[in-house]
Amino acid sequence: MNSQRRRLDLNDAIGKVLRYGVVLSSTVIAVGLTLLLLAPPPGTPGSLQGVLDTHFGQPTLKPAALIGGLTEGNPISVLQLGTLILLATPLARVAASVLLFLRDGDSLYVGIALLVLATLLISIFVVGPMQA
């Protein structure tokens, strides 16, 4: 019975991480979209085709530019932040799983979750930049 209770707690905690990540990213994206519609920044392409022609196939996100844009209230930076939060949500879910499995003393699942987390981090920070 105690093991079943722990599994329910684990599922609830992981569900909350996913739920809060999606709600937070959706809220940030909605704010960015509202800002973009109310006051588009200078040089914003007038159509989706213009956006694709400008940035298609190129990495466009630089951390310093994102932080600078957020401090200036740039709607594009707000949209990028919302997208980053959405992309980071599954990563946070796996990290939460590691911590919860550690708390429960389940070493097999800690190892599996760490392997998944390492794979995700390598794909983001090593393989991703090699593709750009």
Kindly give the confidence (pLDDT) of every residue in the chain, 132 residues in length, as a single tens digit, with 9 standing for 90 and above.
466 666 667 778 888 889 999 999 999 999 999 998 898 877 777 776 776 677 655 556 788 888 998 999 888 889 989 999 998 998 999 999 898 889 888 899 999 999 999 998 888 777 766 555
User: Per the structure block, which two tokens stand in for 39?
Assistant: 């006051």
Contact indicator for 74, 113 with CB cutoff of 8 Å: no
User: Per the structure block, which two tokens stand in for 76?
Assistant: 């594009």
Task: Let me know if 78 is exposed, middle or buried by CB neighbors in 10 A (0-12, 13-18, 19+).
Answer: buried
Spatial distance between the Cα atoms of 5 and 123, rounded to a whole number of angstroms: 34
Closest CA to 10 of 85, 98, 120: 98
Backbone angles phi, psi at 2, to 5 degrees: -65, -40
